[in-house]
Amino acid sequence: MYTTLEPCANSRTLRAPCAKLIADAGIAIVHIGQYDPNPQVNRLGWKYLRDHGVRLRDFPADLRQQAREASENFTRLFTNGVGMTAGAKFDFTTNGGRFTISVDEHLNAPSWETKWTNCDASAIYLNGGVSGVVALARYANEFDEIDDPDALDYGDHSPRIDVGSIGVMRNHHGHVLCKVTAIEPTVDYGGTGHVSVTIRWEIRLATSEPEV
């Protein structure tokens, strides 16, 4: 079998997942074009098939690129978010933990590339790479409790953001405020294999941006 996207192995629905149907059908070899970035699926379909005796192969590099292009509209949901206020759920152990938030879908729209890294079962790190980029809005529970985001402490390059807390990332476009609402932790912190972080965000644009 050749499949452009990894077969699902999501046991959270009543429907039989694709990986189970493939294994039950006695298919001996499955060629996969791209692993699913959905945190409920990523590599679990591959694992299910492997554990049930199916041989697994990857597409050649040129065909993998074509597979990525074919599924781009779907996979962007797990690496990119759009809107002045919105939310998303994504796997922070894939794509380098990066999730890009943009004002709209225009090519040069103001955007922020947030990066999230593993912490523990109830918290996650918001990684700015260097100090001056990210901050924790300590004790704030809602976005409207934050008056001027620039008044926060940006001295830590990767503050710990607990579930229910708000992290802030800034650049020349302004600020994006991100509230962590849920975490499905990695296995070493008691997770089940479905790894994800769920966030809500609010964008606050700078009153004026520097000329490029």
**Residue in this structure with the two tokens 């922020």, named with its chain if needed:** 112
Q: What is the pLDDT of residue 55?
A: 96
CATH fold for the domain made of 2-73: Cytidine Deaminase; domain 2 (3.40.140)
How many Cβ atoms sit within 10 Å of the Cβ of residue 111? 19
| Residue 67 in this model has a pLDDT that exceeds 90 | no
Q: What's the CA gap between 70 and 14, in Å, rounded?
A: 28
User: What pLDDT is recorded for position 48?
Assistant: 92
Task: Say how many Å lie between the first and final Cα of the chain, rounded.
Answer: 50
What is the C-alpha to C-alpha distance for residues 71 and 45, in angstroms, rounded to an integer? 17
- What are 26-49's pLDDT values in tens digits? 999 999 999 988 877 788 899 999
Q: So what's the pLDDT on residue 212?
A: 45
Rounded distance, CA 195 to CA 41, Å?
A: 9
Q: In this model, does residue 209 exceed pLDDT 70?
A: no
Distance between CA atoms of residues 5 and 71, nearest Å: 8
The full set of domain ranges for the chain reads 2-73, 79-205
Residue 194 vs residues 50, 85, 142, 210: alpha-carbon distances, Å: 18, 26, 27, 42
Chain-wide mean pLDDT for the chain? 91
Bigger pLDDT: 212 vs 118 = 118
For residue range 146-192, what is the model confidence (pLDDT) as tens digits?
A: 999 999 999 999 999 999 999 999 999 999 999 999 999 999 999 98
Contact status, residue 109 vs residue 182, Cβ threshold 8 Å: no
Tokens standing for 110? 């103001």
**The pLDDT value given to residue 10:** 73
pTM metric for this prediction: 0.77
CA–CA distance, 152 with 131 (Å, rounded to integer): 12
β-strands 85-90, 196-205: how paired?
Answer: antiparallel
Neighbours of 135 (CB within 10 A): 26
Token pair, residue 43, equals 């590599």
Provide the pLDDT for residue 166.
98
Question: For residue 199, what is the DSSP state?
Answer: E
56 beta partners: 30
Cβ atoms of 114 and 98 closer than 8 Å? yes
Strand segments, DSSP code E, in 46-159 are 55-58, 80-82, 85-90, 98-102, 111-120, 123-126, 134-136
* Average pLDDT rounded to a whole number, residues 99-122: 95
